[in-house]
Amino acid sequence: MTKTWLITGCSSGFGRILAEAVLARGDQAIITARDPESLRDLVARYPDAAHAMTLDVTKAGDAAAAAAEVEARFGGLDILVNNAGFGFVGAVEESEPAEYRPMFETNVFGLIETTRAVLPALRRSGGGRIVNFSSVGGITGRMGFGLYNATKFAVEGLSEALAEEVEPFGIKVVIVEPGAFRTDFLGRSIASAANVLPAYAETAGWTRQYREDDDGSQAGDPQKAIAVLLKAVDEASPPLHLPLGKDAYARARAKFAAFQADMAAWEAQATDTGFEA
């Protein structure tokens, strides 16, 4: 059956690749970007199935307009993909509010408002999907990415709670947690703190250098990642958590092992904290 999608952040990266894959397999989609001119070629290739719209997730009204358009044009919505977002590199002490607050507005609050805008249509579908792009950085923090990690940890918690809220309506939530893939994310979609403190040269400074050195050499193939995502979305019982890439699995497993080790070491004392009977 043909599915109807609403995808944010389609101008580049995973959003662009996903939009192309969705349309190529015969589905229909509202594809969005802050500049919909960047999507003109996709609309030209799939004039009956693709409709491009302006959607800046930080602007009040844009998400509601997209939700109304998808129902008016296609009669309903099956899958929302919250992909729009960007990153930020800098030690916590180096970072200024004017640098990192816009990232929270996009990665967290924009995702929330887009989801809220389309939930009525998804509830009416009786079996929709909400795909929220997080990151392996939403599972485990890394020096220099603390503020970015904070936004993705927020996406994780929100998505887990949302999954419980919408389960009675037949809606499933999938949290996508990619590792390093060869998109333009490192080069195009990450800002850096202007303030550079020598004290953090071996920590956040290392992360800045990694961003410059590894751009274009990441091991992950984004086309393969999107193929896995599409397969997961099509499942009757899709996974809530979908790490993508060997590095994502390695980092997640290391986090869980360290977490369990801390729990085991402190369990006797930490659980002996109740009132005496």
Query: Which three-class secondary structure string do you get for 161-205?
Result: HHHHHHHHHCCEEEEEEECCECCCHHHHCEEECCCCCHHHCCCHH
Confirm if 53 and 84 have CB atoms less than 8 A apart. Answer: no
CB 191 within 8 A of CB 99: yes
Q: Are 100 and 190 in contact (CB under 8 A)?
A: no
Q: Write down the number of H helices and E strands in the chain.
A: 10, 9
Catalytic (active site) residue 152: yes
* Given the residues 11, 46, 135, 152, the one annotated as active site: 152
The number of angstroms, rounded, from the C-alpha of 225 to the middle of its chain's C-alpha atoms is 13
Catalytic residue among 11, 46, 95, 148: 148
Of 45, 51, 47, whose CA–CA distance to 10 is shortest?
51
Tokens of 277: 């009977």
Phi, psi at 63, each rounded to 5°: -65, -40
- The span from the CA of 121 to the CA of 119, in Å, is 5
Considering 95, 134, 159, 192, which one is annotated as catalytic?
134
Strand order in the sheet with 129-133: 50-54, 28-33, 4-7, 79-82, 129-133, 172-178, 241-244
Q: Strands 87-89 and 4-7: what pairing?
A: unpaired
CB contact at 8 A, 40 and 88? no
| Token pair listed for 166 | 């919408």
Total residues found in the chain within this entry: 277
Catalytic residues: 134, 148, 152
